[in-house]
Amino acid sequence: MKINRIDHVSINVHDLAKAKTFFLDLGLEVHAEWELDGEQLDRIVGLTHVKTACVALGMPDGQTWIELVKFYSPSDDKGIQKPSANTLGIRHICFAVEDIENIIAKLKKSGKEIFSEIQQYEESYKLCYIRGPEGIILELAEKIN
């Protein structure tokens, strides 16, 4: 058995358009958009009467991508969660970036929630946590040369 790579990360969202815009503003590109429903999808995700809309967003280099998913049915009755950095489970996605200061300034100017100021980790990275739409936590990491 061999795992070749991470193919994609799926993020369920309530407001698909807003989440899509957020990631486009970060520099990702739309690779595909589609809607799905039917018995095969029901079997794949283990739910019944599933109807979704999806947007695949990726890096310009075409490697790993993010799949934003809006479930029209069944809906999640718990609402949007805003976990902390230490909440158990999958918690954040880290993007390797260039010019972290400029990115953070742009995000602050547009009213995005920044967890911390940019911190330098040893002599290797500048790091900062931000909150995207619907509670999504992102880490931005700039490698120091």
Domain residue limits, the chain? 8-73, 92-143
SS (H, E, C) 52-116: EEEEEEECCCCCCEEEEEEEEECCCCCCCCCCCCCCCCCCEEEEECCCHHHHHHHHHHCCCEECC
Position 30 scores a pLDDT of 96
Question: Among residues 74, 38, 19, which one has the least CA distance to residue 10?
Answer: 19
CATH 3.40.50.300 is the classification of domain 8-73: no
Position 57 scores a pLDDT of 96
Q: Are 30 and 22 in contact (CB under 8 A)?
A: no
Tell me the pTM.
0.86
Give how far the C-alpha of residue 58 lies from the chain's centroid of Cα atoms, to the nearest Å. 10
Question: Among residues 91, 97, 101, which one has the least CA distance to residue 137?
Answer: 91
Position 55 scores a pLDDT of 98
Fold of 92-143: 3.30.720
Position 75 scores a pLDDT of 84
Give the span between the Cα atoms of 12 and 55, in whole angstroms: 11
10-residue mean pLDDT series, the chain (145 residues): 83 94 92 95 92 93 87 86 82 90 91 88 93 88 91
